[in-house]
Amino acid sequence: MLGWVRRGFQRAYERVLRREIGDGPTHVAIIQDGNRRYARKHGDDASDGHRAGAETTEQVLEWCEELGIEELTLYTFSTENFDRPPEQQEALFDLIEQKLYDFADADRVHEREVSVRAIGEVHMLPDRVREAVEYAESRTAAYDGFTLNIALAYGGRAELLSAARDVCRAVESGTLDPSDVDVEAVDERLSRKPVRDVDLIIRTGGDERTSNFLPWHANGNEAAVYFCAPFWPEFSKIDFLRGIRTYESREKSWQRTRTERAVALVRAVAEVELADARAVSGRLRGQLPSSGADEVSAELERRTQESRTEQSAD
């Protein structure tokens, strides 16, 4: 009886959260922490915790589809994980290999046209895992309905260092002019394939740090971050929806700040030259949500009316 009541409450709360969420993020990245601690909590082996976490991953894919999220990146195996005991590494490699083949052959992956990609220093992985990566990528290469990035042998600092070295080599060889070193030049040298900027990072397991995860795509985009206590196998749809709500709250605050800055800029320019203010206003309106664009237009109109009043008085 108590379990039925609890499930009913959870479903009701999910509906409440869902109504509070608008369009949501485009790209969510998740640090799946707590698999081993979950296993210890239940008296199981670490591999059992990772298998339980893999089930959560499949649920998250369904939630992303429900919410219209277009890209998901999962921090599956970091470069630091190579420091774990060999038997733990082998168990993880077994699971990663199996899941890559499972994803590549799953009907729902092909029905939804999911593109499975690995990012990170994949060459550092065992041959069998690399073969599974190649199989999953080749089987889903033509799809663009949804993008699933599996971060394997991944480290954000190493990724940036590798991109910087590639840029230096290109400049030294003469294939890249120093004046052409820009965001795009770095972006195309990150990981094995570029990914969208990250809108939201979720970390489970209670730790409040992003652990060197996607620094270029997340920090550069000022992504929202949601930390939560449940271990990854315990991560629920309610936790996921709370993360999305955190993103939307953060996004609304950021949009408000950008609008205030845009209005202040138009006001400052208009005090010097109204024609310049119109040009600035036109550019800014295209970078703001409709409400922000309306505020910029209202400020410009107010300044225009003040200018006309001053001219009439003269």
Residues catalogued as catalytic: 33, 81
Contact 177, 146 (CB under 8 A): no
Q: Is 120 left (phi over 0), alpha (psi -120 to 50) or beta?
A: left
Is 291 marked as binding a ligand? no
Is 110 marked as binding a ligand? no
Contact 109, 140 (CB under 8 A): yes
Is 73 marked as binding a ligand? no
Is 50 marked as binding a ligand? yes
Is 147 marked as binding a ligand? no
Query: How many CA atoms lie within 13 Å of 94's alpha carbon, on the beta-carbon side?
Result: 11
Burial class (CB in 10 A: 0-12, 13-18, 19+), 224: buried
Is 281 marked as binding a ligand? no
Contact 73, 108 (CB under 8 A): no
Q: Tokens 């990245």 map to which residue?
A: 29
Cross-strand pairs, 14: none
Is 297 marked as binding a ligand? no
Is 242 marked as binding a ligand? no
Burial class (CB in 10 A: 0-12, 13-18, 19+), 84: middle
Is 258 marked as binding a ligand? no
Is 138 marked as binding a ligand? no
Is 80 marked as binding a ligand? yes
Token pair of 271 as six digits? 């005090």
One-letter amino acid at 264 equals: A
Is 292 marked as binding a ligand? no
- Binding residues for Mg(2+), as ranges, are 33, 222
Per the annotation, binding residues for substrate are 34-37, 50, 78-80, 82, 84, 203, 209-211
Please give the annotated binding residues, written as ranges: 33-37, 50, 78-80, 82, 84, 203, 209-211, 222
